[in-house]
Amino acid sequence: MKKIFEIALGILAAIGGFVDIGDIVFNVAAGAMFQYQLLWAVVIGVGAIITYSEMCGRVAVVSQRAAFDAVRERLGFGIGLLALVAGQLVNLLTLAAEIGGIALALQLLAGLPFRVLLVLAVVALGVVIWVLPFEWIERVFGYVGLTLLVFAVGAIKLHPDWGGVASGFVPHADTSDLAVYLFFVVGLIGAATVPYEVYFYSSGAIEERWTPKDLGTNKANAIIGYSLGGLLSFALMITAAELFYPRAISPETLGSVALGANVPLGEIGLLLAIIGILFAVGGAAIDTAFSGAYNVAQFFGWEWGKYRTAVEAPRFTLAWMVMLVLGFLIIVTGVDPIQVTEYSVIFSVVALPATYIPILLVANDRAYMGAYGNGRVANVFGIFYLVVILVVAVAAIPLMIVSNMGQG
Amino acid sequence: MSGPVDLALGILDHQLLDGEGRRCGNVDDLELGDVREGAPHVEAILVGAPAWRGRGLIGRLAAALARGRTVRVPWSEVEKLDSGVRLKNPAREYGLGGGDERARKLVAWIPGAGE
Amino acid sequence: MRLSDLLSLEVRTESGETLGRVHDVRGELTSRSLKVTGLIVGNVGLLERLGVGAPESGDRIRPRDAVPWSAVVRADRRGVVVKDGTTPN
């Protein structure tokens, strides 16, 4: 009974932690521009992250190797280092976007100058990471992130055309601007599958000291948790489809996003939405900073982990601090956080194959996995989504250029 | 554990773990015995930035940019091979983990840094 | 010589036939030592190079036979020379 309770708590944290700034920006923009037509793209993205999270969680548990260990072992020093550098650049962009997102959400609550809020955000993140144990961080940000469910409630209250919603799950493009449409397909899949998520998830499995008896928890978190988390993405898109699409509004700010809950649910909806965004994006920022630290530590073989004290893993500790500082420096230059978000997602897409291929390889390696290697189901999904990822990775930059970053 | 092992697949670039289970570097290269005298033995594990020089063009570039010494761990110090390479004794005895030793001073002063 | 020196060396027979490059080095591990027993030579496909298809055992070897070290005539920075008649598999 206790086990079921624990698994349920893990699922809740996974749901609340699913959405990050990239998901918010792309799902809302997609709903505003294409109504329900891109729901199917979210399904594909969610399916990919479920498949690969379960896989690399299992790899981490059974072999005690995290995802980036596999990158160096499988791809060698040279290519592994390229993957590290590219991954870190993408991580930094993503982190900058998330820090900006936190400051934007804070600005909706307290009208302080943006740069002050950026400093506040980074200091708060640093203190939280330093003080709280790993499990607490994940639980707190995950549970409070559940307030994003207000968008699900709001979406229903807006009485969407459910027939239209249903048809959105079938890929079709009823638009003259195919390049923009495809750009959003790439962006939605990319936002759901950002590399830092799998790196973080696999290292997190080792942080949480999962053993093979936790493989059920791993499956539950990945499959149930992320499926339900995907519902939040749907809610964002449907809300935007109801509020912005009919009026041809292009939501440019986080405030517009929060309106999505304000309109159907009033002041309380707005407040819950802002809090939800704050904690979902805040949790994502921590995950990204950690992911950067995990990757560099794992590549060079340093001791790592929040489960170690700072003194036991000093270079790892300095690494996440440096990540926060660099992310801050990028966003404090005054670049628009929403634009940084868009670029970070698109560049992440290009890095996806280097992230996902080693995971699929190691998950099939019997010497690592023993009896727990991929079965046929995991491999069918794994290969299918790998093909999807390869296609979007190749298409990302050309589509970005042709569609003028989704502006048309 | 004994039996056949492919060196690049199973040892090179794998994590080194010391006698206390602490991570202390990666296998950056392996030192082999004299190849003119018959089949060589693996003499030692090489760890450190200068050891990247043999790891291709990118390795040479990285070795040029990074600081550090090469640490040589005799193969006799290897306890076993599982997902990583496990050594018999604590990292310090081999001269490994030096980077963490230096970095420790930068974080140790913060309250809550641990023992 | 280091492992990295051996990897990617070109392997030829004494009479000059090219067999391919060294993709890995096989060794025999005992509780006391690790001795090189052969070379993995030839055109290893991309999947194999990435380690796909490792057999279901606790040992870490590629699913192909090694050229035994006894066939090696000479190995230095310029390449590896093996006896005539040696085949990669």
What is the structure's pLDDT at A1?
74
May I ask the CATH architecture of the domain C3-82?
Roll (2.30)
In a domain, A79, yes or no: yes
Q: Which residue has the higher pLDDT, C42 or A121?
A: A121
In a domain, A240, yes or no: yes
In a domain, B2, yes or no: no
Quote the strand ranges of A233-379, DSSP E: none
3-state DSSP assignment of residue B25: strand
**Nearest residue, CB atoms, C2 vs list B29, B39, B81:** B29
Give tens-digit pLDDT for A13-72: 888 889 999 999 999 999 999 999 999 999 999 999 999 999 989 999 988 888 888 889
Helix-helix angle A337-364:A314-332, to 10 degrees: 150
Give the residues of chain C that fall short of pLDDT 70: 43-59, 89
- Give me chain A's average pLDDT, please: 92
What is the structure's pLDDT at C57?
44
Rounded to 10 degrees, the C-alpha dihedral A79/A82/A86/A91 comes to 80
Helix-helix angle A39-63:A226-243, to 10 degrees: 160
User: Are C57 and A366 in contact (CB < 8 Å)?
Assistant: yes
User: Are B8 and C3 in contact (CB < 8 Å)?
Assistant: yes
In a domain, B41, yes or no: yes
**Nearest residue, CB atoms, A74 vs list C50, C55, C56:** C50
Give tens-digit pLDDT for A178-213: 999 999 999 999 999 999 999 999 999 999 989 998
What is the structure's pLDDT at C89?
63
Q: Does C15 touch chain A (CB under 8 A)?
A: no
Q: What is the mean pLDDT of residues A152-173?
A: 91
Number of domains, chain B: 1
Q: Which secondary structure element, helix H or strand E, spans residue A214, and what is its range?
A: none
Confidence of residue A399 (pLDDT cuts 50, 70, 90): very high
Rounded to 10 degrees, the C-alpha dihedral C67/C68/C74/C78 comes to 30
Domain span at B29 = 7-108
In a domain, B113, yes or no: no
CB atoms within 10 A of CB A166: 11
What is the structure's pLDDT at C49?
53
In a domain, A407, yes or no: no
Confidence of residue A394 (pLDDT cuts 50, 70, 90): very high
Number of domains, chain A: 1
Q: Contacts of residue A71 in chain B, CB cutoff 8 Å?
A: none
User: Are B26 and A64 in contact (CB < 8 Å)?
Assistant: no
Angle A392-A397-A402 (CA atoms, 0-180°, nearest 5)? 110
Q: Where are the domains of chain C?
A: 3-82
* Integer CA distances (angstroms), B99 to A190, A323, B25, B52, in order: 36, 19, 10, 16
Q: Report how far residue B31's alpha carbon sits from residue B42's, in angstroms, rounded to the nearest whole number.
A: 6
Q: Contacts of residue C5 in chain B, CB cutoff 8 Å?
A: 54
Provide ipTM, 2 decimals.
0.95
pLDDT at A225 over 70: yes
Give tens-digit pLDDT for A79-102: 899 989 999 999 999 999 999 999
**Domain of residue A25, CATH code:** 1.20.1740.10
User: Are C28 and B55 in contact (CB < 8 Å)?
Assistant: no
In a domain, A341, yes or no: yes
Say if CB A129 and CB A317 are below 8 A apart.
Answer: no
